[in-house]
Structure 1
Amino acid sequence: MATVMIHATVTLDGYLADPDGGVDWMFDFPSAPEDGDVVARVCERIGAIVGGANRSRTIEEGEIPYGGMLEVPVFLMTHQATDPIERDGVTYTFVVDDIAAAVATAKEAAGDGWVSLLGGSISRQCLRLGLVDEIHLDVVPVLLGDGISLFAGLGIRVDLERLETSAFASETHLRFRVLER
C-alpha cells in the first residue's frame, strides 16, 4: 500500500516560497552530492503526486512538479472540471473539490510507492483529514521573514516520530512519521 507524504523544501522559518510565490532562494546555497542523494532516494520511491492546479488549469513551465524529472501520474485539485492533460509522458488529472478522492486515486496509481503532496494548502488539508503518513522536509539555511508557509493555519496538533535526520553541506533533511490522533 502506498505511503502518503508531504515532501517539501523549506526555509528555516518554514516558508515554501516568498510572498509572490518565488523559489529562487531554493537554488542559492551550497549543497553537497549527499544532499542530492537524499532527494534522489525520495524521488525514486514517488509513484504519484497530488498538488493544486493553477488558475488556468494548464501545465506551464516552472509549474511542473519536481521540474519534470518524475514521470508519474499527477493529480491536481481544482474547483472546475477539466479534461486530463498529457505532457512529456506525464498525465495530469484534475480532481474537483475532493482531496480525499484525489489521494485515494493517487495511492492506487502509486502502488507500493509514495504519494507526494505538494503545496501548503494541500498538505494542511490532508493533515487535517488524517491522510498523511510521513513528512519529509529539506530545510535550507535561509530566513525569508515572510512568504507562503507550509504549516501556518493548520489549526490542529500533529504528533510526529522522527525516522531519519541527515545534514551535509547546508541542507538538513528530516523525515517524520505522523502518529495516530
Structure 2
Amino acid sequence: MAKVLIHATVTLDGYMADPEGGVDWMFDVDATEEDTALVNRVVGEIGAVVGGANRARTIEDGEEPYGGLPGVPVYLMTHTAAEPVVKDGVTYTFVVDDIGSALEMAKVDAGEKTVSLLGGRISRQCLQLGAVDEIQLHVVPILLGAGISLFGGLGQRVNLELIEEAAFGDGVHLRYRVLR
C-alpha cells in the first residue's frame, strides 16, 4: 500500500510561502547536482498527489504540482464540486471536504509508490488524522521573517524519527518517519 509523504521546501524559519502565498524565493537558492538528484529521486517515488485547489477550480499554467513532472493523478481539495480537469495527460480530480476520501483514492492510484501531500493545511489535516507516514523537507538558507507556516496551527505533538539526511551546497534535506 502507498506511503503518505509530506513533501515541502521550507525556509530555515519554517515557512513554505511568503505572506501572500508566493514561492519565488525558492528559485533564489542555487542547487547542486546532488540536490537535484535527491529531489528527482523523491519525485520519482510519487504515484499520486493530494493538494489544495485554487478558487476557480482550474489548473492554470504554473499550478501543476512538480511542474507536471511525475505525470500522476492529482486530487485537489475544495469546498465546491467541480468536474475533473485533464491537462497534459494528468487528471485533476476535485474532492469536496473529504480529505480521507481523497487520500484513499490517491493511495489506490499510487499503488506501491508514494502519495505526496502539498500545502500546509492539507499536511496538517493529514497529520491530525494520523495518516502521514513520512515527512521530506528541503530546508533552504533563507529567513522570510513572516509567511505561511507548514506546520503552524497543528495543535498537537507528533514524534518523528530521522531516516535520511543530506546536505549539498547551502541546503539541507531531511526525511523523517512519523512515529505512531
Report the TM-score, using the length of structure 2 for normalisation.
0.99
Alpha-carbon displacement from aligned partner over 1:146-169 (angstroms, at most 9, x marks no partner): 001100000000000000000001
Structural RMSD (CA) = 0.6
Alpha-carbon displacement from aligned partner over 1:71-118 (angstroms, at most 9, x marks no partner): 000000011111100000100000110001100110000000000000
Q: Which residue of 1 aligns with 2:167?
A: 167
| 1:29-178 alignment runs, 5 A limit | 29-178=29-178
- Runs of 4+ residues over 3 Å off in structure 1: none
How many residue pairs get aligned? The number is 180
Residue 44 of structure 1, CA deviation:
0.6
Q: Which residue of 2 aligns with 1:27?
A: 27
Cα distance in structure 2, aligned partners of 1:141 and 1:170 = 6
Structure 2: 5+ residue stretches without partners: none
Cα distance in structure 1, aligned partners of 2:15 and 2:61 = 22
Structure 1: 5+ residue stretches without partners: none
Alpha-carbon displacement from aligned partner over 1:22-56 (angstroms, at most 9, x marks no partner): 11110102221000011011011100000000000
Cα distance in structure 2, aligned partners of 1:2 and 1:70 = 16
Report the TM-score, using the length of structure 1 for normalisation.
0.98
Cα distance in structure 2, aligned partners of 1:140 and 1:25 = 10
Identity of aligned residues (%): 67
Q: Which residue of 2 aligns with 1:8?
A: 8
